[in-house]
Structure formats: structure tokens, C-alpha cells
Chains A and B, each alone.
Chain A
Amino acid sequence: DTAVSQTPKYLVTQMGNDKSIKCEQNLGHDTMYWYKQDSKKFLKIMFSYNNKELIINETVPNRFSPKSPDKAHLNLHINSLELGDSAVYFCASSQGTVGNQPQHFGDGTRLSIL
């Protein structure tokens, strides 16, 4: 009965490859997010979707493309992976978009680029 689940938990791949991370939430929330956490634990938002519509798109390279097939799923595809993409990527969800509700996080995907 995991609330926000993302797969895979670990991803080790070569520079230049393309990879995807999947996220699903069973909380009935209408808003989902992707965050990137660097090695110093700094957490930065990348994207946010509300009812399958993109509402936040930070200054992220266009090699990163999110896709939300329905409001319970938000996937992240990354093309031409670079060394600097190594980080932990977190999916999260909340009810509403104005930041006055708690966000629920998955356990992260640890991406390592060789």
C-alpha cells in the first residue's frame, strides 16, 4: 500500500544513454512533481503536473521530458545522459497546486552515470 512509488530504485548507466523513471501515486492527489537532490542534499523542483497538465517547468535541459498519462502517474524520460545528471530523483504528489498542502514523496531513484 505504498503511497508514492517510483521505479527503479537504482539506475546505473553509461553517458549518452536514454533512460526513464516511472512514478505512481495511489493517494488520489491531483498534482505530481519531480525533484532533483544533489550530493549536498539540496532539493530542487524540476516539473509539476496538475491533472495531467504541465504547470511548473523549471530551467531544466530539454533532454528531460516528463509525461503524465493520467493524474496518478508521472514519468521522467532523460535523453543523452550526462555525468552531471547523477543525483537522486524524487517523485512527489499533493492535493492542489498552491503549496498549502503537504507533499508526499517516493523513496527516490539513485541515478549514477558512468
Chain B
Amino acid sequence: SQQGEEDPQALSIQEGENATMNCSYKTSINNLQWYRQNSGRGLVHLILIRSNEREKHSGRLRVTLDTSKKSSSLLITASRAADTASYFCAKPNQGGKLIFGQGTELSVKP
């Protein structure tokens, strides 16, 4: 079964607004990763957060991790039209395979 489940499946916002995407998982993790996929392109790694970290920032991106709730969130602040993409969370299972969620499709309208 999938280990990363994103919520919502789709999100539409206006430029300048913040976008929050959530990811839940079922078993314990040592890290959780977030990726972006622009239309027609491959996945691009955004942030890796380890199980002993609670929050991580990269530019306008903020990722939080709550291991007690088995959930993570990705916040994009002051969104731009160029942020329009699909966002995936992924976690490695015991065999080292990255298991991806179904993704959140973000649309940022200018």
C-alpha cells in the first residue's frame, strides 16, 4: 500500500496567497521527502526532513514533520504562477524504496 498520502488532491489559489499541502503516512520513518513535478517534466527534489527534525525551510518553502501524528506539511508562501505543479511526498520503506503519494495538484492563478 502507498505510504504517503497527500491532501488535498487539488488546490487552486491566487498569486500571492499561501498554499499548504499535507502528507500522512502509516509506519515509522527516518526521513520524508517532498518533490515537485512541472507538467511534462521529471520530479525535482525540494526538501528532505529527517525524523528528528520538526521544521525545515528553503526559500519560500517550509516543511513541518509531526511524527506523533505521522504527518507532514509543505507550505509555499507568497505563491507565484510558476509554482503551478504537482507536489509529492515520499518516504523510504525498510528496503530503501521511495514510496510516493498520489500528489497534490497546485494551480496558482495570476
Interface residues of A (CB under 8 A from B): 4, 40-45, 48, 55-56, 90, 92, 97-108
Contact = CB atoms under 8 A, between A and B. Distances in A.
Nearest to B92: A99
Task: With a 10 A CB-CB cut-off, give which of B30, B45, B86 has the most chain A CB atoms.
Answer: B45
Nearest to B100: A43
Which secondary structure dominates where chain B touches chain A? strand
Given A41-B103, A45-B97, A56-B97, A100 B43 contact: no
Given A41-B86, A43-B100, A45-B98, A99 B93 contact: yes
B96 interface: yes
Interface string B79-110: 00000001010011101111010110100000
Nearest to B31: A100
A12 to B, nearest CB: 16
Nearest to A6: B42
A90 B44 CA distance: 12
Interface of B: 30-31, 33, 37, 40-45, 48, 50, 86, 88, 91-93, 95-98, 100, 102-103, 105
A16 B66 CA distance: 48
A66 to B, nearest CB: 15
A90 B42 contact: yes
Contact of A99 (B37, B44, B98, B105): B98
A99 B96 contact: yes
B102 A107 contact: no
29 contacts: A40-B102, A41-B103, A41-B105, A43-B43, A43-B88, A43-B100, A45-B97, A48-B96, A56-B95, A56-B96, A56-B97, A90-B43, A92-B42, A97-B96, A98-B92, A99-B31, A99-B91, A99-B98, A100-B31, A102-B33, A103-B33, A103-B98, A104-B45, A105-B43, A106-B42, A107-B40, A107-B42, A108-B40, A108-B41
Contacts of B40: 107-108
Contact of B48 (A56, A90, A102): A102
Contacts of B92: 98-100
Nearest to B30: A100
